[in-house]
Structure 1
Amino acid sequence: MTRIGMLLAALVATAAGALAHAADKRYPLDSVKKIEVVEPSNRSVWENKDLLDCSDVVLTEDDVRYALRHIRRVTEKAFFSEKTERTGCSGGASVTFSNGKIIVIGVEPTGRINIFEADAKLEPTGAPESYYECGPCRTRKMILLQDAFDRADERRLKKLVAQGRVSSAEAELLLQKARSARKGP
């Protein structure tokens, strides 16, 4: 194969990959009429306060817009996989489009998103629920949540100091280490 042929093949593969990972066309951001955050912060039985306290996680209208722009559909099996990271925290919003369609969207800080179509009372319609993940949402939210993670680390380490499992000096070193690890190189 010639260099031009290989270049064309690479461009076609890249374009096909980009189309396969495009945001869901059923929910175009440019036709959003109204977004109402109905549940800014919710916790489930999965909440792990040592990792993140759900009261530190609040869904905003900007988060919903960002999610609609970047969501990538996944299978139900992938969404509920044991390998999928969960915090036990989520937020929910209703989104009304200019064509009258209403969806209810649940967003977790890990980028796990579920959507179902709803009627005016926000009750599910007959359409099946859809499952998504959003890597850019996760990155964006996790950057915004650095303080929340720091507070969770502090709570966890204070508990260990109170139990006598680590000293105050050792807890401080562990806290600095955790903060440095999250910030990366």
Structure 2
Amino acid sequence: MNKFNSLIVTILIVATGIAVAEAADRRYPLAYVQKIEITEPSRRTAWEDKDFLDCDDVVLTEEDVRYALLHMRRVSWSAYAPENTDTTGCKGSVLVTFKNGRILAMGIEPTGRITTAEYDTGMKVTASPAGFYECDPCRERKMKLLKDALYRADERRLKKLEAEGKIPPGEAERRLKTLRASR
């Protein structure tokens, strides 16, 4: 029975570790948000790939910010780096003011990648280092909302391939129907 108890304890420890890893950052509780100001609803970065998603189709909303605050989890720079992960090259910017006066500047991508910087009430950078976050639930939610934008990007990409002769004539339409059905 002793081996069984130690197995149960081990399983509980691992489950607790996984739950903590998936938990939102407690430094930014949604209950203490005083104001959300979207400074740039959508902008392009050097990583924009219009064959995947046109940044004009992506607009950051207050609801997106609240959802991100609930679900984002901190990651290392190496896990966040655009060279190592998927990025659309689109990002919205927001300032979140908390009741204690702290201001959180956030850059949120539709893929759920988030950067943060903390400021005091005078907009001076605090001692906290820049933060890098991922939000898988945000990505899933936003990508569901962007189905039409993704379809338009697929259409641009496939029509370009067809025009260049890389796929046979009429193949673009067939692939578009297949992609739309799979989403």
Per the normalisation by structure 2, the TM-score is 0.89
Output one character per residue of 1:37-84: Cα deviation in whole Å (capped at 9) or x when no partner: 111001012111111000000000010111111111001121115221
| Partners of 1:16 and 1:86 in 2: CA distance | 27
Shift of the 122–41 alpha-carbon distance from structure 1 to 2, 3 Å rule, reads: farther
Q: State how 1:49-68 maps to structure 2 within 5 Å.
A: 49-68=50-69
One-letter identity of the residue aligned with 1:45 = A
Q: State how 1:40-79 maps to structure 2 within 5 Å.
A: 40-79=41-80
Greater Cα offset, 168-177 or 6-15: 6-15
TM-fit CA distance, 1:178: 2.2
Residue equivalent to 1:35: 36
Q: State how 1:19-34 maps to structure 2 within 5 Å.
A: 19-34=20-35
TM-fit CA distance, 1:170: 1.8
Unpaired segments ≥5 residues, structure 2: none
Determine helix, strand or coil for the equivalent of 1:105. strand
| Partners of 2:122 and 2:147 in 1: CA distance | 36
Residue equivalent to 1:173: 174
One-letter identity of the residue aligned with 2:20 = L
| Partners of 2:145 and 2:107 in 1: CA distance | 18
Determine helix, strand or coil for the equivalent of 1:39. strand
Q: How many residues align?
A: 182
One-letter identity of the residue aligned with 1:133 = E
One-letter identity of the residue aligned with 1:134 = C
Unpaired segments ≥5 residues, structure 1: none
One-letter identity of the residue aligned with 1:111 = G
Greater Cα offset, 161-170 or 149-158: 161-170
Residue equivalent to 1:16: 17
Residue equivalent to 1:159: 160
Determine helix, strand or coil for the equivalent of 2:84. coil
Q: Name the Cα RMSD after superposition.
A: 2.0
